[in-house]
Structures are given as C-alpha cells and as structure tokens.
C-alpha cells in the first residue's frame, strides 16, 4: 500500500509541476512598443472626447446611414473581417469610422463607401492600420 501511495503522490506532483510550467510558458509580457499593448487607446476612449458606438444618434436617418454603410462593407468581398467590423457612428449625417483595418486601401475603401452613402454630410476617418 505505501508503494501505491508513493506512486500516486509522485504522479500528482509531476502533473502539477507540468501544468504550472505550461502556465508560466504561456504568459505574454507586453512592452511599451508591443503591437498588443493598447493602454493608450483605452485611456483615449475613456476621456469622453472620442466617439464610441454608444454615441450613435437614434434618429431614423442616422440609423439608416449606419446600416447602409455596414451593409455595403459586409457585402464587399475585397474587405477583411476587421474592415467589415469597424465602428460606424453617425450623428446628424456626420459619420465617424473607427477601428483596425488590414491596409491603407481598406481604410480608403471604407471612407469612399461612407461618402457615397445617401445622407452623409461628412466622414471622419479614424481607422487605424493593423500592426503586422
């Protein structure tokens, strides 16, 4: 019996050691210049000066503009998933585009889609090119 107990304790100790080693190996350390480090963006978005989807105007005209831009983006096969999911905020016909896109060409394409949408007065393109 003591041999079995020793083997069980040994096996459990080995398993716990292996699991904690895996956890430590998977930790990601972010440096200030890391592409994954977005503290400054989070601070910027908390200052109430940057538009977020919660700032979307509830008028029928603005909701229609946002929906039309979203539909055009989603149906454009040349755009990446990121580009199709950017934030579109419309207030009194003024559209703000925010979020990551893969390329400058996608940023331009989304701006053009927005400018061609009926009812749009102005487009504020705040799209960011995703880091490689």
With 0-12 / 13-18 / 19 or more C-beta atoms within 10 angstroms meaning exposed / middle / buried, residue 120 is middle
- What residue ranges do the domains of the chain occupy? 2-129
pLDDT of residue 34: 55
pLDDT of residue 6: 75
pLDDT of residue 79: 95
Q: Considering only CA atoms, which of 75, 62, 60, 73 is closest in space to residue 111?
A: 73
Is the Cβ–Cβ distance between 88 and 95 less than 8 Å? yes
pLDDT of residue 101: 95
pLDDT of residue 33: 56
pLDDT tens for the chain, residues 1 to 132: 567 767 777 777 777 776 665 444 445 555 555 555 555 555 555 555 666 666 665 789 999 999 999 999 999 999 999 999 999 999 999 999 999 999 999 999 999 999 999 999 999 999 999 866
């Amino acid at each position: 019996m003591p041999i079995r107990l020793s083997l069980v304790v040994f096996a459990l100790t080995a398993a716990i050691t292996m699991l904690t080693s895996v956890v430590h190996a998977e930790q990601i350390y972010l440096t200030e210049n890391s592409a994954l480090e977005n503290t400054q963006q989070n601070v910027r978005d908390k200052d109430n000066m940057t538009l977020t989807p919660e700032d979307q105007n509830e008028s029928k005209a603005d909701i229609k503009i946002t929906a039309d831009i979203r539909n055009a983006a989603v149906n454009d096969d040349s755009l990446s998933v990121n580009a199709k999911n950017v934030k579109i905020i419309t207030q009194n016909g003024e559209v703000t585009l925010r979020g990551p896109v893969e390329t400058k060409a996608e940023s331009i394409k989304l701006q053009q889609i927005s400018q061609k949408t009926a009812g749009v007065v102005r487009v504020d393109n705040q799209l960011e090119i995703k880091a490689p």
